[in-house]
């Protein structure tokens, strides 16, 4: 139905079917046909439209809703009350005793899929359900509107706190609002993610539900679960309870990527590096990997390891190295030494700007949106251009064809040995 959707929804997964009927005869007719469709006969409830409105105001809407209007004094205004509580995507079939084509037309205009005049036959009901299922499995608005092929970028921080999530939300916003692609930000830091928080949104239960029930993930699920941040940007994020471990083989994440790819023109995955170790297949279809680094020794070591891992495990992906929080001077490792160690250039450097970062957090906006100064907007634009470029041979590699991981780690060792010894420091 064309009901308004709220961002702070608490709905759990939707049932395939629920009915609210007014009499036992209608219930008796519905139950066996529900069973034919694989639906539970217990989903046939009493109470008609009134009960439907009450129930759906506190629970998730089903995919197909059958509602009996027989006891309704003013079916049209009652249907509008239903639209208020019914989530988008639900197909509503109504039944009633009023044989009036004007009412039928008005009901259809209010978002009802079909109106069955009572008493109706089992075959009429089967036809109505078949049409409802066709509507559900047919092309959705988002798919029909999606013209550009999806570009998927994953953002990985080589160390904690380097700013990977800041860059992921900024890149998603740039892809959406600047490049005009409908974009999804998929935050796979399921316990501590900030994808929703950073945009001043409630994460909802979509991602947690997906992990618990991967078999339910489909286009309709994505449509319901994504939380809208703007016209062009949606977010799927979670604050999963921290008293329970995440029990998943990763298939939910893979399926989410698949469905998002069909429904959006851009995907940005905020991918914690431990997920990369656990679920390497998440990078199978990614076109660009944004590796976020900082100029520290630990980040240098892990940048070497992650870049080498990517070469072996995601050779199709274009790698974009982004140095975040970079300072003009006084860093643990100089940019030159860092680039020598990783045997390639840094593609984009974002300066350390605590004021801008604080402002973005306070506004609940991506850093790329709130920061107007050229010193940040320029590198962000570079990042967007790089991410949208067709994946392929990485032309930004510096120097000769890079050597083995051991070779690079050798460079890293040399870098470490450049450090003043403790005794010297003392």
Ligand X SMILES: Nc1ncnc2c1ncn2[C@@H]1O[C@H](COP(=O)(O)OP(=O)(O)OP(=O)(O)O)[C@@H](O)[C@H]1O
Strands 233-236 and 227-228: antiparallel
Does 166 participate in binding Mg ion (rule CB under 5 A)? no
The item of ligand X, Mg ion, none sharing an interface with residue 352, based on CB under 5 to 8 Å by kind, is ligand X
Q: Could you give the maximum distance between any two Cα atoms of the chain, in Å?
A: 95
The item of Mg ion, ligand X, none sharing an interface with residue 160, based on CB under 5 to 8 Å by kind, is ligand X
Nearest distance, CB of residue 165 and ligand X, angstroms: 3
Edge-first strand listing for the sheet containing 91-96: 44-46, 17-21, 64-68, 91-96, 114-117
Q: Write each residue from 301 to 340 as x if it is in contact with ligand X (CB under 6 A), else as -, in one continuous string.
A: -----------------------xx---------------
Contact 79, 104 (CB under 8 A): no
Q: 164 or 371: whose CB is closer to Mg ion? A: 164
Q: How far is CA 169 from the centre of its chain?
A: 11
Nearest distance, CB of residue 159 and ligand X, angstroms: 7
Q: 342: which residues sit within 8 A by CB, 6+ positions away?
A: 300, 303, 304, 307, 321, 408
Nearest distance, CB of residue 353 and Mg ion, angstroms: 18
The tokens for 191 are 């316990």
Does 165 participate in binding Mg ion (rule CB under 5 A)? yes
Q: Which own/partner contact pairs does 301-307 have at CB distance under 8 Å and 24+ positions apart?
A: 301/409, 301/412, 302/158, 302/159, 302/273, 303/158, 303/338, 303/341, 303/342, 304/341, 304/342, 304/405, 304/408, 304/409, 304/412, 305/405, 306/156, 306/158, 306/273, 306/276, 307/342, 307/344
Contact 10, 58 (CB under 8 A): no
Does 326 participate in binding Mg ion (rule CB under 5 A)? no
Q: Write each residue from 357 to 396 as x if it is in contact with ligand X (CB under 6 A), else as -, in one continuous string.
A: x---x-----------------------------------
Q: Select from 38, 138, 149, 354 the one that contacts ligand X (CB under 6 A).
A: 354
Q: Pick the piece of the chain touching ligand X (CB under 6 A) from 14-22, 76-84, 161-169, 247-255.
A: 161-169
The tokens for 184 are 């999804």
Q: Write each residue from 184 to 223 as x if it is in contact with ligand X (CB under 6 A), else as -, in one continuous string.
A: -----x----x-----------------------------
Closest CA to 182 of 231, 113, 122: 231
In the bound state, the residue with its beta carbon closest to Mg ion is 165
Q: 164 or 184: whose CB is closer to Mg ion? A: 164
Q: 257 or 324: whose CB is closer to ligand X? A: 324
Contact 391, 318 (CB under 8 A): yes
Q: 104 or 352: whose CB is closer to ligand X? A: 352
Does 164 participate in binding ligand X (rule CB under 6 A)? yes
Residues of this chain that bind Mg ion (CB under 5 A) = 164-165
Residues of this chain that bind ligand X (CB under 6 A) = 157, 160-166, 189, 194, 324-325, 350, 352-354, 357, 361
């Amino acid at each position: 139905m064309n009901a308004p959707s709220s961002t702070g929804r608490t709905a759990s997964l939707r049932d395939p079917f629920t009915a609210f009927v007014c009499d036992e005869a209608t219930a008796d007719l519905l139950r066996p046909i529900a069973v034919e469709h694989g639906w539970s006969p217990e989903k046939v409830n009493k109470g008609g439209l009134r009960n439907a409105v009450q129930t759906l105001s506190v629970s998730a809407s089903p995919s197909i809703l059958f509602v009996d209007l027989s006891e309704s004094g003013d079916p049209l205004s009652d249907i509008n009350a239903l639209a208020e509580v019914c989530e988008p995507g639900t197909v509503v079939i109504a039944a009633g005793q009023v044989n009036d084509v004007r009412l039928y037309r008005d009901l259809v205009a209010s978002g009802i899929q079909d109106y069955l005049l009572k008493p109706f036959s089992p075959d009429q009901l089967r036809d109505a359900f078949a049409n409802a299922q066709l509507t559900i499995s047919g092309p959705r608005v988002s798919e029909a509107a999606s013209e550009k092929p999806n570009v998927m970028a994953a953002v990985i921080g080589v160390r904690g706190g380097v700013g990977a999530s800041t860059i992921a939300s900024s890149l998603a916003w740039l892809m959406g609002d600047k490049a005009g692609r409908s974009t999804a930000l998929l935050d796979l830091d399921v316990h501590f993610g900030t994808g929703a928080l950073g945009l001043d949104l409630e994460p909802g239960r979509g991602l947690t539900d997906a992990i618990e029930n991967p078999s339910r993930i489909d286009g309709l699920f994505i449509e319901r679960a994504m939380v809208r941040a703007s016209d062009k940007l949606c977010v799927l994020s979670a604050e999963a309870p921290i008293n329970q471990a995440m029990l998943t083989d990763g298939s939910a994440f893979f399926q989410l990527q698949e469905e998002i790819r069909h429904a959006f023109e851009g995907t940005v995955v905020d991918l914690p590096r431990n997920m990369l170790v656990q679920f390497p297949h998440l990078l199978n279809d990614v076109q660009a990997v944004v590796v976020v680094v900082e100029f520290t020794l630990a980040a240098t070591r892990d940048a070497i390891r992650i870049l080498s891992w990517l070469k072996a495990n995601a050779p199709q992906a274009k790698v974009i190295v982004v140095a975040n929080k970079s300072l003009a001077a006084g860093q643990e490792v100089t940019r030159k030494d860092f680039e020598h160690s990783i045997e390639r250039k840094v593609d984009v450097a974002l300066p350390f700007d605590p004021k801008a970062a604080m402002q973005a957090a306070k506004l609940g906006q991506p850093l790329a949106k709130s920061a107007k100064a050229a010193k940040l907007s320029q590198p962000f634009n570079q990042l967007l251009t790089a991410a949208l470029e067709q994946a392929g041979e990485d032309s930004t590699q510096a120097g000769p064809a890079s050597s083995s991981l051991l070779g690079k780690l050798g460079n890293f060792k040399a870098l470490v040995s450049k450090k003043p010894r403790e005794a010297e420091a003392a």
